[in-house]
Structure 1
Amino acid sequence: MPPTRVGVIGAGVSGPVAAMLLKQKGYDPVVYERLDAISEAGLGLGIQYNGQAVLARIPGLVEHIDGFQLDEFHFYSVLPEDPGLLGISENRRRQRETHGLGSIAVLRPVLHKRLVEHAQKLGIHVKYGHKLKKLEQEEDSVTVTFANGVKETFSFVIGCDGLHSSTRSCLFGETPADYTGLASWGGVSPIPEFWRGKHALADLYGNGAHMIVIPVSDSLMLWLVFMREPEVKEGWKSIDPAAAEDFKKNSPFTEWPFGAGELVKNSLNIVRFGIYDRPELKTWSQGRVVLVGDAAHPTSPHLGQGANQSYEDVGLLIDLLEQHNPSAESPSTETLKTIFSELERVRLPRTADLVKRARAQGERRVVSGVEECIKRNDYCRETCKDPAKVRDRFGA
């Protein structure tokens, strides 16, 4: 009897991982991606302990990703009235020493490539140029129609297709993403001398702006500046070269200390994008189709938990499949209902809380006026004295 076919929609940060874990359990997953090739958009992300714990279930994957180890989180104020180091958290080093897994950073296009490479190495088909158009459910199957006319039938389908999820739209209709009021400029730059040899990322706090800087290798560092702006499209693509050069030469961030100004002036590219999340869903599933990751609970990036929560979703989903369908045969709709309901029972409260906390952190970090900025700085100083508070506040 051939293995049970599972459709995985989206070849971003979670789709290939879901497929690899399904393959390990005896299923036959196929990954479909709407783009024609691996996306070059975006900058990078951090995979924290909770996300790595799921990736480590796939032999050789964490090593293949080859992310840059992050051991510390530094916090600086660039406010002229209150400048300097606010504190240092070593939570990431403690996690690595305790669990063997800490936090790593990697460029997003590199992560996409390495996830797909590892999936293909395991014999998983990844098909590009397939944008989901329609889902038709039968008693024991789902037929997927793509915009290119291709039709495929699966036992069940997992939607891993991100903020602009076609799977979500097919199940629940179009729901607009919510602009959080914050936009970001960012780029990837040669690592400044200030940060060379340090396995540390950092928050830098100014008046009306917040910057995060993250090393992704011994020679490169990504940076993001968050500030309040009129609504900006969520695109993650490099902006017009003339506008990029103007930002690198004339933005106030070129004068920021602690290596920040060098990052902006020497950036190899500049992207600009709005920060969005979506209203909370009451269910992530319908029949034989389920959403995970940003398709179910897109979040702003201020806790660094977007990809990590996707991996928590996927890890639990695979555990529930193994528990309720150990044979890996095509499960009944009733069995899938049990699995999806338990996934939602556990994951909905956690992800809803993290989405709210992430938005709140963005609000707290980007404040204006000297008095409010000093209050923020003092709060950061106090938080850094307590590892538990650092973990709660910064997703660390």
Structure 2
Amino acid sequence: MADHGVSSNDPLEPVRKPIIIIGSGCTGLAIAQGLKKAGIEAIVFEKNPAVYSPGERDWNMGLHWAIPVLKSLIPDSAVESLQSVQVDPNTPTKAVDILSFLNGKTSEVMTAPEIPYFHRLRRSKLRALLAKDLDVRWNKKLIDIKFADNPEDGLTAIFADGEQIEASMIIGADGARSRTRNLLVGPEAASNTQLPYAASFIQTKFNREQALFVRKFHPLFLASPHPDNLFAFFGLQDAPDANKPEDWTFFFYVSWNSSLEDQEKEARTFTNKDRLEQVSVLGKKYCEPWKSAYEWVSEDQPIWYFGLSVWDPSTPEHAWDNKSGRVTLVGDAAHPMTYQRGQGLNHSITDAGVLVNTLVSKSATAGLTPQIQKEVIDIYEAEMKARAGEEVRLSVLNTTMLHDWQKVMSSPVFKGGLSAGSS
């Protein structure tokens, strides 16, 4: 894997107008930290009121082959704190771990790929760490972008509260339903491609004995296709105290074949109770730990459901005009993909590394002129669209095969594990 991290720590002259980053997800914050490290002014705008609000959905993410990239972007103090934002902050990351895939019916281990330095990161804690010492402005929802006729004059970002901010560049890091993407390509082209698969997620605690039982199968994560064309994941979400299993939170889901018509109908008619009954029926078909976990959830357990979808940035119909290097997309705003192969965060952080590294290296001598800015964004987008576009397509193939028992063993994750570009 090529090194896409920051190549220089030498400060650059500040640009005439700041760079604006839309969205305070992990990708946008990593870019802001990388730019700050290079002495380039950046401001992050976030539509929500804080890095994490009570009741907001939280989840965990795998970061493995892109760990060196993240470390190159963030300050040393944040690198030293990465252990604290893992789902289990009390256990050091192994040099090599395994992700076991079980036969969901028999519990037989089907494959167990080795993964070097597999960090399982809690999203809310990672965002809080990455947001430190940055200029982040909350409750700022982007509604429009006005580009000056002359690229040297930059652009103006317009927010829902009426504020207008001038900038030299705007980076859309605003997630899978990106407003920035919508403004660039229009609402129809910006819409994600829905797939005929759905999933329901649960986060819950168990009593001490139950927690110790479900965690004994693997301290962090398990995955499992099922002969009934299902796929499931079971993992730890948070273990603040190693000696208090009753305080541990677990995170697990089942996904299944679901037509777009069924997804639309259920979205209109299903209650939380309906969702829980639906996924409990599926979950109880499974071996341990899923079987017991679904039996032990309470009747009023909140559940998080959605249909799977993707957006491929490399297709002609999704091409956008970067306005002479004044606007681009990164992370899920550029390439939302399915998650069964654990590649989303790795590609998003790689986006951050490629963009910051290219900007720093190209502007090191002449500064960030409009001409260099255009060259930087053109280089970044060409690399990102080829790399991440391939992964989006691979993610669809992988998800399709994991939900077809006859094809599971030929799926990309079974053939190549979680390494970058496995096929």
Normalised by the length of structure 1, the TM-score is 0.82
Is the counterpart of residue 242 in structure 1 residue 255 in structure 2? no
Q: Which amino acid in the other structure matches residue 276 of structure 1? A: S
Residue of structure 2 in register with 1:185 after alignment: 200
Residues 1:377 and 1:347: Cα distance change in structure 2 (over 3 Å): closer
Q: Report if aligned partners of 2:30, 2:130 keep a CA contact under 8 Å in 1.
A: yes
Residue of structure 2 in register with 1:354 after alignment: 391
Point out where structure 2 has 5 or more consecutive residues left out of the alignment: 1-11, 88-92, 206-210, 240-247
Tell me the secondary structure at the aligned position of residue 290 of structure 1. strand
Pick one of 314, 318, 342 that aligns with 2:352.
314
Residue of structure 1 in register with 2:230 after alignment: 209
Is the counterpart of residue 224 in structure 1 residue 253 in structure 2? yes
Residues 1:327 and 1:224: Cα distance change in structure 2 (over 3 Å): farther
1:77-96 equivalent positions in 2, closer than 5 A: 77-79=103-105, 84-89=108-113, 91-92=114-115, 95=116
Residues 1:394 and 1:334: Cα distance change in structure 2 (over 3 Å): closer
CA RMSD of aligned residues (A): 3.0
Q: Which amino acid in the other structure matches residue 203 of structure 2? A: V
Q: Report if aligned partners of 1:72, 1:199 keep a CA contact under 8 Å in 2.
A: no
Is the counterpart of residue 286 in structure 1 residue 316 in structure 2? no
Shift, 1:226, TM fit: 0.9
Shift, 1:158, TM fit: 1.1
Q: 1:49 and 1:227 mapped to 2: Cα distance?
A: 27
Tell me the secondary structure at the aligned position of residue 127 of structure 2. helix
Q: Report if aligned partners of 2:398, 2:413 keep a CA contact under 8 Å in 1.
A: no
Q: 1:254 and 1:283 mapped to 2: Cα distance?
A: 46
Identity, % of aligned positions: 19
1:1-396 equivalent positions in 2, closer than 5 A: 3-4=14-15, 5-39=18-52, 41-57=56-72, 58=74, 59-65=76-82, 66-68=85-87, 69=93, 71-79=97-105, 84-89=108-113, 91-92=114-115, 95=116, 102-116=117-131, 118=132, 122=133, 124-138=134-148, 139-140=151-152, 141-174=154-187, 175=189, 176-190=191-205, 191=211, 193-196=213-216, 198-206=218-226, 207-218=228-239, 219-231=248-260, 232=263, 240-243=271-274, 246-247=277-278, 250-267=280-297, 269-280=302-313, 281-283=318-320, 285-287=322-324, 288-326=326-364, 329=367, 331-367=368-404, 373=405, 375-376=406-407, 378-379=409-410, 389-391=416-418
Residue of structure 2 in register with 1:98 after alignment: none
Q: Report if aligned partners of 1:42, 1:108 keep a CA contact under 8 Å in 2.
A: no
Q: Which amino acid in the other structure matches residue 198 of structure 1? A: H
Q: 1:74 and 1:323 mapped to 2: Cα distance?
A: 41
Q: 2:107 and 2:293 mapped to 1: Cα distance?
A: 19
Q: 1:313 and 1:383 mapped to 2: Cα distance?
A: 22
Q: Report if aligned partners of 1:23, 1:29 keep a CA contact under 8 Å in 2.
A: yes
Point out where structure 1 has 5 or more consecutive residues left out of the alignment: 96-101, 368-372
Normalised by the length of structure 2, the TM-score is 0.77
Residue of structure 2 in register with 1:370 after alignment: none
Which stretch shows the higher mean deviation, 199-208 or 14-23?
A: 199-208
Q: Report if aligned partners of 2:61, 2:121 keep a CA contact under 8 Å in 1.
A: yes
Residues 1:199 and 1:393: Cα distance change in structure 2 (over 3 Å): farther
Shift, 1:45, TM fit: 3.2
Shift, 1:254, TM fit: 2.8
Q: Report if aligned partners of 1:6, 1:28 keep a CA contact under 8 Å in 2.
A: yes
Deviations 1:246-268 (A, max 9, x none): 357x5231342221123334456
Q: 2:257 and 2:203 mapped to 1: Cα distance?
A: 22
Residues 1:324 and 1:361: Cα distance change in structure 2 (over 3 Å): same
Residues 1:48 and 1:133: Cα distance change in structure 2 (over 3 Å): same
Tell me the secondary structure at the aligned position of residue 216 of structure 1. strand
Q: How many residues align?
A: 364
Q: 1:376 and 1:25 mapped to 2: Cα distance?
A: 47
